[in-house]
Amino acid sequence: MLYDTLIRNALVIDGSNSPGYAADVAILDGRIARIGDLSEARASDEIDAAGRVLAPGFIDVHTHDDTVVIRQPQMLPKLSQGVTTVIVGNCGISAAPVSLRGDPPDPMNLLGSAAAFVYPRFSDYRAAVEAANTTLNVAALVGHTALRSNHLDDLFRTATDDEIDAMREQLRESLEAGALGLSTGLAYASAFSASTDEVMQLTEELNAFGAVYTTHLRSEFEPVLEAMDEAFRIGRHARSPVIISHLKCAGAGNWGRSPQLLASLEEAAKTHPVGCDCYPYAASSSTLDLKQVTDAHRITITWSTPHPEMGGRDLMDIAAEWNLPLLDAAKRLQPAGAVYYGMDENDVRRILAHPLSMVGSDGLPEDPFPHPRLWGAFPRVLGHFSRDVGLFPLHTAVHKMTGLSAVRFGLKERGEIREGHWADLVLFDPATVRDVADFNDPQRAAQGIDGVWINGVLSYRDGQANGQRPGRFLARQGDLRDGFR
């Protein structure tokens, strides 16, 4: 037997939250063929992985890569940190199904200009991903705000019964075409006016498919517990799993409340399938939101349509230069993007370490001056939080980015190193792996990532992408509730 690839002498951390073990791993026809002592085996490509960890490829459960996976299929910011699968369509914003009548409303503009939205049906988007020969695997949610923009003439009100019926029909068609579920971004002005009842009626479509409900909560600030209660109420009504996006205690007045949030999550989990994702930084990034403008912490502008020259500068400095109050300066910059240094590090660590939390980057690939999480989230968990800070053992760090994520989103035969599973793999040096991207120089590849295989194809080696594009569209498989039992 001649295998395609043989990785010898690796420390295999298999994604199951178990400590690593020494083994050789053989790949054949895109899958993991054998694991063990394969000293007698041979392969077309043999790699000595002594001193390295072989882990499942990382699954980025919270991305806004919807259109960039098609337009820039190399996906270097993710590939270079060991990500092999991205889940798109988060925070209520998705590339499909969308039929714009003008410019994309905020925050759909995070996915690009109107020219990027050319998928009136979810099946059109799926076909485009498949035709693009993407580097990474792609699985997709349907955004609530995307549906609203298709059917409401005014996003600053709740939907009528007829509009809800039209949105439900589009959601149902999308679920039939393989969507994972529905996402909301209720904190954003374009969805904030949607009543809880509007969302509940939409989520009634999820039950028949065993699909998931993910939500950027209505507030991550002082009313965050009430917002979590709303999310759990919607999930129970829908009989659908609930994943809270980028769980955090936002705003200086909210710091230190993570034990309350995690207690709420644990209580809900006793009777309903729930979880959350988070990113390993104490700063967030999104569009420039006037409600979040404050002098209590630093705010950096990442882009501005009327004033592109202000990208990378702090709002406070811009306001001083213009001799304007902060709020007036922010209004002049809009539409714009921003990084908000609005979290406490201890809260970030508590949430990241919690057994119910997965890792997602929430990176914004369209930002000219992006938050460093776009390039650094996963190596930061491995290097900074696991190795340097000792927040959790390395096998737990890997589990939060692989096995846990795969089972929550029903990504069958992925997320663990097992015989017969797809060979989505990352080889890294546990002693040197680290995020290099920072807030001053955010577009830098991680160190210590030696190799990345997607569906058995080596696509990144020793700091270089090789142009291989073996990714696939991953349609929803089975009942996602099963992954929470």
Q: Alpha helix locations (H) across 1-113?
A: 68-71, 76-79
Can you read off the two tokens belonging to residue 303?
A: 């882009």
Kindly provide the b/e burial profile for residues 235-248, where b requires at least 16 CB atoms within 10 angstroms of the residue's own CB. Answer: bebbebbbbbbbbb
Token pair listed for 132: 């693009």
CA 296 to chain CA mean position, Å? 28
Distance CA 480, CA 241 (A): 7
Position 155, amino acid? L
Residues 377, 356: Cα–Cα separation, whole Å: 18
Q: What is the pLDDT of residue 23?
A: 98
Task: Measure the CA–CA gap between 342 and 249, rounded to whole angstroms.
Answer: 8
Helix, coil or strand: residue 358: strand
Give pLDDT tens digits for 271-283: 999 999 999 999 9
pLDDT value of residue 377: 98
Task: Please state whether the predicted TM-score (pTM) of the whole model is above 0.75.
Answer: yes
Return the exposure string of 338-348: e unless at least 16 CB atoms fall within 10 Å of the residue's CB, then b: bbbbbbbeebb
Which among 458, 435, 425 has a CA at the least distance from the CA of 83?
425
3-state secondary structure of 214: strand
The answer to whether the beta carbons of residues 4 and 44 sit under 8 Å apart is: yes
Which tokens in the block code for residue 320?
């001083």
Q: Diameter of the chain by CA atoms?
A: 74
Question: Is 420 buried (19+), middle (13-18) or exposed (0-12) by CB count in 10 A?
Answer: exposed
The answer, yes or no, to whether the previous bond of 77 is cis (omega within 30 of 0) is: no
Q: What is the distance between the alpha carbons of residues 45 and 458, in angstroms, rounded to a whole number? A: 10
Give the separation between CA 238 and CA 35, rounded to whole angstroms.
41
Q: Which residues of the chain have pLDDT under 50?
A: none
The three-state secondary structure class of 10 is: strand
Q: For residue 472, how many other CB atoms are within 10 A of its CB?
A: 18
State residue 485's pLDDT score: 86
Residue 462's pLDDT is: 87
> Quick check: helix, strand or coil at residue 21?
strand
Using alpha carbons, select from 144, 131, 142, 128 the residue that is nearest to residue 67.
Answer: 128
